Protein backbone atom coordinates (compact mmCIF):
# COMPACT_ATOMS: atom_id res chain seq x y z
CA UNK A 1 0.00 0.00 0.00
CA UNK A 2 1.26 3.50 -0.81
CA UNK A 3 1.11 6.55 1.35
CA UNK A 4 -2.23 8.38 1.75
CA UNK A 5 -2.55 11.12 -0.85
CA UNK A 6 -2.61 13.84 1.82
CA UNK A 7 0.64 12.63 3.37
CA UNK A 8 2.27 12.32 -0.04
CA UNK A 9 1.15 15.85 -0.99
CA UNK A 10 2.64 17.21 2.25
CA UNK A 11 5.97 15.50 1.51
CA UNK A 12 5.98 16.92 -2.02
CA UNK A 13 5.30 20.45 -0.77
CA UNK A 14 8.01 20.26 1.92
CA UNK A 15 10.63 18.88 -0.50
CA UNK A 16 9.67 21.46 -3.14
CA UNK A 17 9.92 24.29 -0.60
CA UNK A 18 13.40 23.14 0.46
CA UNK A 19 14.57 22.93 -3.16
CA UNK A 20 13.08 26.34 -4.00
CA UNK A 21 14.95 27.80 -1.03
CA UNK A 22 18.30 26.02 -1.58
CA UNK A 23 18.76 25.94 -5.37
CA UNK A 24 19.10 29.74 -5.91
CA UNK A 25 22.15 29.55 -3.62
CA UNK A 26 23.82 27.20 -6.11
CA UNK A 27 22.58 28.32 -9.54
CA UNK A 28 21.43 31.73 -10.79
CA UNK A 29 17.67 32.23 -10.72
CA UNK A 30 17.68 33.08 -14.45
CA UNK A 31 19.13 29.65 -15.32
CA UNK A 32 17.02 27.88 -12.70
CA UNK A 33 13.86 29.33 -14.20
CA UNK A 34 14.38 27.72 -17.59
CA UNK A 35 15.39 24.42 -15.92
CA UNK A 36 12.08 24.46 -14.02
CA UNK A 37 10.18 25.19 -17.23
CA UNK A 38 11.92 22.36 -19.04
CA UNK A 39 11.14 20.11 -16.07
CA UNK A 40 7.46 20.89 -16.53
CA UNK A 41 7.73 20.15 -20.25
CA UNK A 42 9.44 16.83 -19.53
CA UNK A 43 6.72 15.95 -17.02
CA UNK A 44 4.04 16.60 -19.67
CA UNK A 45 5.52 13.89 -21.90
CA UNK A 46 6.36 11.66 -18.95
CA UNK A 47 2.67 11.64 -18.04
CA UNK A 48 1.29 10.57 -21.41
CA UNK A 49 4.20 8.29 -22.40
CA UNK A 50 5.38 6.85 -19.12
CA UNK A 51 1.92 6.32 -17.59
CA UNK A 52 -0.37 6.32 -20.61
CA UNK A 53 1.86 4.41 -23.01
CA UNK A 54 1.38 7.07 -25.70
CA UNK A 55 4.66 7.74 -27.51
CA UNK A 56 4.33 11.33 -28.75
CA UNK A 57 6.99 12.88 -30.98
CA UNK A 58 5.03 16.12 -31.04
CA UNK A 59 5.21 17.45 -27.50
CA UNK A 60 7.14 20.40 -28.90
CA UNK A 61 4.02 21.27 -30.93
CA UNK A 62 1.99 21.88 -27.75
CA UNK A 63 4.96 23.69 -26.18
CA UNK A 64 5.27 26.00 -29.18
CA UNK A 65 1.50 26.52 -29.40
CA UNK A 66 1.43 27.60 -25.77
CA UNK A 67 4.28 30.05 -26.32
CA UNK A 68 2.85 31.55 -29.53
CA UNK A 69 -0.67 31.70 -28.13
CA UNK A 70 0.58 33.61 -25.10
CA UNK A 71 2.64 36.05 -27.19
CA UNK A 72 -0.25 36.78 -29.58
CA UNK A 73 -2.80 37.14 -26.79
CA UNK A 74 -0.48 39.30 -24.67
CA UNK A 75 0.03 41.75 -27.55
CA UNK A 76 -3.72 41.98 -28.12
CA UNK A 77 -4.81 42.17 -24.47
CA UNK A 78 -1.91 44.20 -23.11
CA UNK A 79 -1.63 42.11 -19.94
CA UNK A 80 -0.76 38.54 -19.00
CA UNK A 81 -3.54 36.97 -16.91
CA UNK A 82 -6.01 36.00 -19.63
CA UNK A 83 -3.25 35.14 -22.16
CA UNK A 84 -1.81 32.62 -19.67
CA UNK A 85 -5.19 30.91 -19.42
CA UNK A 86 -5.68 30.91 -23.20
CA UNK A 87 -2.15 29.52 -23.65
CA UNK A 88 -3.20 26.46 -21.64
CA UNK A 89 -6.60 26.00 -23.28
CA UNK A 90 -5.49 26.22 -26.93
CA UNK A 91 -2.84 23.43 -26.78
CA UNK A 92 -5.24 21.32 -24.69
CA UNK A 93 -8.00 21.63 -27.31
CA UNK A 94 -5.53 21.01 -30.13
CA UNK A 95 -4.23 17.89 -28.35
CA UNK A 96 -7.78 16.72 -27.68
CA UNK A 97 -8.73 17.07 -31.36
CA UNK A 98 -5.54 15.37 -32.55
CA UNK A 99 -5.85 12.65 -29.92
CA UNK A 100 -9.49 11.92 -30.76
CA UNK A 101 -8.57 11.52 -34.42
CA UNK A 102 -5.73 9.12 -33.61
CA UNK A 103 -7.24 7.09 -30.77
CA UNK A 104 -10.74 6.66 -32.19
CA UNK A 105 -8.99 5.66 -35.42
CA UNK A 106 -7.21 2.95 -33.38
CA UNK A 107 -3.82 3.81 -34.79
CA UNK A 108 -0.85 1.76 -33.58
CA UNK A 109 2.13 3.21 -31.74
CA UNK A 110 4.23 3.60 -34.88
CA UNK A 111 1.55 5.63 -36.65
CA UNK A 112 0.94 7.71 -33.51
CA UNK A 113 4.60 8.65 -33.47
CA UNK A 114 4.65 9.45 -37.18
CA UNK A 115 1.51 11.60 -37.07
CA UNK A 116 2.61 13.62 -34.03
CA UNK A 117 6.01 14.15 -35.63
CA UNK A 118 4.48 15.26 -38.93
CA UNK A 119 2.11 17.67 -37.17
CA UNK A 120 5.07 19.24 -35.38
CA UNK A 121 7.02 19.62 -38.63
CA UNK A 122 3.97 21.14 -40.36
CA UNK A 123 3.63 23.73 -37.60
CA UNK A 124 7.35 24.45 -37.79
CA UNK A 125 7.17 24.93 -41.56
CA UNK A 126 4.03 27.07 -41.35
CA UNK A 127 5.29 29.41 -38.64
CA UNK A 128 8.56 29.85 -40.55
CA UNK A 129 6.61 30.99 -43.61
CA UNK A 130 4.61 33.75 -41.87
CA UNK A 131 7.07 36.60 -42.43
CA UNK A 132 4.75 38.65 -44.65
CA UNK A 133 2.61 41.55 -43.39
CA UNK A 134 -0.56 39.59 -44.18
CA UNK A 135 0.15 37.14 -41.33
CA UNK A 136 -1.43 39.13 -38.54
CA UNK A 137 -3.71 38.10 -35.67
CA UNK A 138 -5.24 41.23 -34.24
CA UNK A 139 -2.31 43.52 -33.47
CA UNK A 140 0.25 40.70 -33.45
CA UNK A 141 2.44 39.94 -36.47
CA UNK A 142 3.64 36.34 -36.55
CA UNK A 143 7.03 37.42 -37.85
CA UNK A 144 8.06 34.24 -39.65
CA UNK A 145 11.55 33.01 -38.82
CA UNK A 146 12.18 36.19 -36.80
CA UNK A 147 9.48 35.23 -34.32
CA UNK A 148 7.44 37.53 -32.10
CA UNK A 149 9.34 39.82 -29.73
CA UNK A 150 8.17 42.70 -27.56
CA UNK A 151 5.00 41.31 -25.98
CA UNK A 152 3.68 41.92 -22.47
CA UNK A 153 5.50 39.69 -19.99
CA UNK A 154 4.03 38.30 -16.79
CA UNK A 155 2.45 40.90 -14.53
CA UNK A 156 0.52 40.98 -11.27
CA UNK A 157 -3.12 40.21 -12.18
CA UNK A 158 -5.02 43.47 -12.63
CA UNK A 159 -1.87 45.61 -12.76
CA UNK A 160 -0.15 45.42 -16.18
CA UNK A 161 2.62 47.77 -15.02
CA UNK A 162 3.70 45.50 -12.14
CA UNK A 163 6.01 43.07 -13.91
CA UNK A 164 7.12 39.78 -12.36
CA UNK A 165 10.74 39.02 -13.23
CA UNK A 166 14.06 37.86 -11.77
CA UNK A 167 13.84 35.95 -8.49
CA UNK A 168 10.09 36.53 -8.27
CA UNK A 169 9.56 34.92 -11.67
CA UNK A 170 11.62 31.90 -10.65
CA UNK A 171 9.38 31.45 -7.60
CA UNK A 172 6.27 31.69 -9.80
CA UNK A 173 7.59 29.00 -12.17
CA UNK A 174 8.72 26.77 -9.28
CA UNK A 175 5.34 27.01 -7.57
CA UNK A 176 3.62 26.31 -10.91
CA UNK A 177 5.73 23.16 -11.37
CA UNK A 178 4.91 22.06 -7.81
CA UNK A 179 1.20 22.50 -8.45
CA UNK A 180 1.42 20.59 -11.73
CA UNK A 181 3.34 17.82 -9.97
CA UNK A 182 0.63 17.64 -7.29
CA UNK A 183 -2.03 17.52 -10.02
CA UNK A 184 -0.26 14.68 -11.79
CA UNK A 185 0.14 12.83 -8.47
CA UNK A 186 -3.55 13.18 -7.69
CA UNK A 187 -4.50 12.15 -11.22
CA UNK A 188 -2.38 9.00 -11.11
CA UNK A 189 -3.72 8.05 -7.68
CA UNK A 190 -7.31 8.46 -8.88
CA UNK A 191 -9.34 5.77 -10.64
CA UNK A 192 -8.71 7.56 -13.93
CA UNK A 193 -4.96 7.26 -13.47
CA UNK A 194 -5.11 3.61 -12.46
CA UNK A 195 -7.20 2.80 -15.52
CA UNK A 196 -4.75 4.76 -17.72
CA UNK A 197 -1.90 2.63 -16.39
CA UNK A 198 -4.01 -0.47 -17.03
CA UNK A 199 -4.50 0.66 -20.62
CA UNK A 200 -0.76 1.09 -20.96
CA UNK A 201 -0.18 -2.46 -19.71
CA UNK A 202 -2.94 -4.20 -21.69
CA UNK A 203 -5.20 -2.05 -23.84
CA UNK A 204 -7.22 -4.98 -25.20
CA UNK A 205 -8.07 -6.28 -21.74
CA UNK A 206 -9.21 -2.83 -20.58
CA UNK A 207 -11.40 -2.49 -23.66
CA UNK A 208 -12.96 -5.90 -23.02
CA UNK A 209 -13.67 -4.81 -19.44
CA UNK A 210 -15.92 -2.10 -20.84
CA UNK A 211 -13.72 1.00 -20.58
CA UNK A 212 -13.77 3.58 -23.36
CA UNK A 213 -10.05 3.40 -24.07
CA UNK A 214 -10.06 6.03 -26.82
CA UNK A 215 -11.83 8.61 -24.65
CA UNK A 216 -9.49 8.10 -21.71
CA UNK A 217 -6.39 8.29 -23.88
CA UNK A 218 -7.74 11.45 -25.49
CA UNK A 219 -8.30 13.10 -22.11
CA UNK A 220 -4.83 12.11 -20.91
CA UNK A 221 -3.31 13.40 -24.16
CA UNK A 222 -5.15 16.71 -23.72
CA UNK A 223 -3.89 17.06 -20.13
CA UNK A 224 -0.34 16.49 -21.35
CA UNK A 225 -0.90 19.12 -24.04
CA UNK A 226 -2.21 21.60 -21.46
CA UNK A 227 0.86 21.13 -19.24
CA UNK A 228 3.18 21.57 -22.23
CA UNK A 229 1.22 24.69 -23.21
CA UNK A 230 1.70 26.15 -19.73
CA UNK A 231 5.43 25.42 -19.99
CA UNK A 232 5.48 27.17 -23.38
CA UNK A 233 3.78 30.27 -21.99
CA UNK A 234 6.23 30.41 -19.09
CA UNK A 235 9.12 29.96 -21.53
CA UNK A 236 7.82 32.84 -23.65
CA UNK A 237 7.86 35.07 -20.58
CA UNK A 238 11.37 33.92 -19.69
CA UNK A 239 12.84 34.46 -23.17
CA UNK A 240 10.67 37.52 -24.02
CA UNK A 241 10.53 36.24 -27.61
CA UNK A 242 9.02 33.23 -29.37
CA UNK A 243 10.49 31.75 -32.55
CA UNK A 244 9.71 28.78 -34.85
CA UNK A 245 12.56 26.88 -33.18
CA UNK A 246 10.10 25.96 -30.44
CA UNK A 247 8.46 23.59 -32.95
CA UNK A 248 11.73 22.14 -34.23
CA UNK A 249 12.58 18.47 -34.56
CA UNK A 250 15.54 19.00 -32.24
CA UNK A 251 13.25 20.26 -29.50
CA UNK A 252 10.96 17.24 -29.89
CA UNK A 253 13.92 14.85 -29.72
CA UNK A 254 15.31 16.52 -26.61
CA UNK A 255 12.05 16.05 -24.71
CA UNK A 256 12.05 12.33 -25.50
CA UNK A 257 15.69 12.02 -24.40
CA UNK A 258 14.89 13.79 -21.11
CA UNK A 259 12.23 11.20 -20.31
CA UNK A 260 14.40 8.23 -21.26
CA UNK A 261 17.38 9.43 -19.22
CA UNK A 262 15.32 10.47 -16.19
CA UNK A 263 13.17 7.36 -16.19
CA UNK A 264 9.82 6.57 -17.78
CA UNK A 265 7.00 5.54 -15.52
CA UNK A 266 8.13 7.92 -12.77
CA UNK A 267 6.94 11.41 -11.97
CA UNK A 268 10.27 12.88 -10.92
CA UNK A 269 12.37 11.18 -13.61
CA UNK A 270 11.41 13.39 -16.58
CA UNK A 271 11.86 16.51 -14.43
CA UNK A 272 15.33 15.41 -13.34
CA UNK A 273 16.26 14.36 -16.86
CA UNK A 274 15.09 17.67 -18.33
CA UNK A 275 16.77 19.86 -15.73
CA UNK A 276 20.00 17.84 -15.66
CA UNK A 277 20.48 17.61 -19.42
CA UNK A 278 19.43 21.22 -19.99
CA UNK A 279 21.94 22.40 -17.39
CA UNK A 280 24.64 20.21 -18.96
CA UNK A 281 23.81 21.74 -22.34
CA UNK A 282 24.06 25.21 -20.80
CA UNK A 283 27.49 24.40 -19.34
CA UNK A 284 28.72 22.89 -22.61
CA UNK A 285 27.44 25.94 -24.45
CA UNK A 286 30.14 28.00 -22.75
CA UNK A 287 32.84 26.16 -24.69
CA UNK A 288 33.38 25.34 -28.38
CA UNK A 289 35.62 22.26 -28.12
CA UNK A 290 32.85 19.63 -27.90
CA UNK A 291 29.57 19.64 -29.82
CA UNK A 292 26.45 19.64 -27.58
CA UNK A 293 24.56 17.25 -29.84
CA UNK A 294 27.38 14.70 -29.72
CA UNK A 295 27.38 14.70 -25.90
CA UNK A 296 23.59 14.39 -25.71
CA UNK A 297 23.60 11.49 -28.16
CA UNK A 298 26.40 9.75 -26.24
CA UNK A 299 24.47 10.12 -22.97
CA UNK A 300 21.36 8.61 -24.58
CA UNK A 301 23.32 5.62 -25.94
CA UNK A 302 24.97 4.99 -22.57
CA UNK A 303 21.66 5.10 -20.73
CA UNK A 304 19.94 2.82 -23.23
CA UNK A 305 22.79 0.29 -22.91
CA UNK A 306 23.51 0.41 -19.18
CA UNK A 307 20.49 2.08 -17.50
CA UNK A 308 17.56 1.30 -19.81
CA UNK A 309 15.00 2.10 -17.09
CA UNK A 310 16.48 5.55 -16.49
CA UNK A 311 18.24 7.33 -13.65
CA UNK A 312 15.47 7.57 -11.05
CA UNK A 313 14.43 3.87 -11.20
CA UNK A 314 18.12 2.88 -11.00
CA UNK A 315 18.67 5.05 -7.91
CA UNK A 316 15.45 3.73 -6.35
CA UNK A 317 16.49 0.11 -6.95
CA UNK A 318 19.95 0.75 -5.49
CA UNK A 319 18.43 2.40 -2.43
CA UNK A 320 15.97 -0.43 -1.89
CA UNK A 321 18.73 -3.01 -2.31
CA UNK A 322 21.01 -1.27 0.20
CA UNK A 323 18.18 -0.60 2.65
CA UNK A 324 16.93 -4.19 2.31
CA UNK A 325 20.35 -5.62 3.09
CA UNK A 326 20.74 -3.39 6.14
CA UNK A 327 17.28 -4.37 7.34
CA UNK A 328 17.97 -8.09 6.87
CA UNK A 329 21.25 -7.77 8.78
CA UNK A 330 19.42 -5.97 11.57
CA UNK A 331 16.73 -8.68 11.68
CA UNK A 332 19.34 -11.46 11.81
CA UNK A 333 21.16 -9.64 14.61
CA UNK A 334 17.94 -9.23 16.57
CA UNK A 335 17.14 -12.95 16.18
CA UNK A 336 20.60 -13.91 17.44
CA UNK A 337 20.23 -11.69 20.49
CA UNK A 338 16.80 -13.15 21.12
CA UNK A 339 18.13 -16.73 20.94
CA UNK A 340 21.07 -16.02 23.24
CA UNK A 341 19.12 -13.74 25.52
Task: Give pLDDT, residue 21.
Answer: 96
Mean pLDDT of 47-71: 96
Give the torsion sign (CA, 114, 261, 280, 232).
Answer: positive
What are the tens digits of pLDDT across the range 137-187?
A: 999 999 999 999 999 999 999 899 999 999 999 999 999 999 999 999 999
What are the tens digits of pLDDT across the range 222-252?
A: 999 999 999 999 999 999 999 999 999 889 9
Mean pLDDT of 278-295: 80
Task: Give pLDDT, residue 1.
Answer: 44
From CA 119, how far away is CA 99, in angstroms rounded?
A: 12
Task: Give pLDDT, residue 29.
Answer: 94
From CA 335, how far away is CA 340, in angstroms rounded?
A: 9
CA dihedral of 34, 36, 37, 38, whole degrees rounded to 10:
90
Residue 287 pLDDT level (bands cut at 50, 70, 90)? low
Mean pLDDT of 192-208: 94
Task: Give pLDDT, residue 304.
Answer: 84
> Which range (105-109, 189-193, 291-295) has the least confidence?
291-295
What are the tens digits of pLDDT across the range 313-323?
A: 998 888 888 77
Helix axes 249-262, 292-306, angle to 10 degrees: 40
Mean pLDDT of 249-263: 94
> Which range (28-37, 251-260, 285-294) has the least confidence?
285-294
Give the torsion sign (CA, 61, 63, 64, 65).
Answer: positive
Task: Give pLDDT, residue 63.
Answer: 98
Residue 324 pLDDT level (bands cut at 50, 70, 90)? low
Q: What is the pTM of this model?
A: 0.92
First-last CA distance in the chain: 35
Q: Residues 6 or more apart from 329 whose CB is under 8 A from it?
A: none
Mean pLDDT of 36-50: 97
Q: Are 292 and 281 in contact (CB under 8 A)?
A: yes
Mean pLDDT of 262-273: 95
The residue ranges of every structural domain in the chain are: 5-294
46 secondary structure, DSSP code:
I
Mean pLDDT across the chain, nearest whole number?
Answer: 92
Give me the DSSP letters along 296-320: HHHHHHHHHHH-TT-HHHHHHHHHH
Largest Cα span, the chain:
90
- Express as a percent the part of the chain with pLDDT over 70: 93
What are the tens digits of pLDDT across the range 93-102?
A: 999 999 999 9
Give the torsion sign (CA, 179, 296, 255, 70).
Answer: positive
Give the torsion sign (CA, 264, 17, 227, 248).
Answer: negative
Amino acid sequence: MGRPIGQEALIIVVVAALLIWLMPMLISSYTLTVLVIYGMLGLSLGLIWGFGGILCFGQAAFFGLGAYTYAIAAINFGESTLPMIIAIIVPALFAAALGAMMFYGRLTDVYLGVITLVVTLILFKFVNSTAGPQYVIGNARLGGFNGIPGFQTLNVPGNPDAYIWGHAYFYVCAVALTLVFLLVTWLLRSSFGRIAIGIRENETRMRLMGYDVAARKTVLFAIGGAIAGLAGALFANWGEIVTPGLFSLGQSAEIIIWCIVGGLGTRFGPILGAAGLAYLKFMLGQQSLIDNTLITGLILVLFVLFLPRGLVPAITSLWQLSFGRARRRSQRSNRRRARHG
